[in-house]
Structure 1
Amino acid sequence: MSKIGYARVSTRDQNLARQIEQLHDAGVNKIFQEKLSGKNADRPQLKEMLDYIRDDDEVVVLSLDRLGRNSHDLTDIIETIRHRGAQLNVLNLPSFASIEDPNLRNLITTIIVELYKYIAQEERETIKIRQQQGI
């Protein structure tokens, strides 16, 4: 089992150092990183990471929005991770590592991730509406 990290910022001017440091602190031994918007479907490092992961690997990200900007994209990416036999660990979400039953742990994690995806999508839509109102 390997811990595989993914770090992303939206623009070239932004710095990945904070994410990379926290991924290292979490025990990640391989990090894929890029400076591209999350709404960009063509993210080479994300694709490479998804191709790289194997059974029993753990994919670690700082927050869900590092993987994607909307619920549909996040669902596709998370399903790809699971299909490859890996688990997703989002560092800013509650950890259920103390739950011994892997099925129960996965169920609770899935519920929490779905809730956060919904909240993130709603927040994104609210930002768009406010931007349009301000224009």
Structure 2
Amino acid sequence: MADLSGTWLGTYWQEGIPTRFEAVFIQSGNSLSGNILDDNFLGEAQLNGEVIGRRISFTKSYLTTSPDPVKYVGTISEDENYMQGEWKISKHYSGSWEARRSGESLTAELLTRLAKQEPIGFKVR
């Protein structure tokens, strides 16, 4: 079973328009909980769901802006660092989504890459 605990950065598409989000998953056995912050007016939501093998499913419920829950289903990559799938609100709206695992190591990786680069400058002759 995949372990999804931690922070994930993702995007979902509604009518071809992308929206970025940050999700924090807390996993206990097959149970999944946590929260999501959308980078738009919809704001923060809570999530509850489950992980079975490489399949994820959860329901996102916004705290203040929308009464309609959003159901997500998807597949987790073998290395457990990427997932993608479909979301749906009732029978009327649906789209695709994807997310990648995030973490403190991303900052360390960026600093390492920057340290290896040679400074840019001009030589005066």
- TM score, norm. by length of structure 2: 0.26
Q: Which has the larger helix fraction?
A: 1
Larger Rg: 2
Q: Which has the larger strand fraction?
A: 2
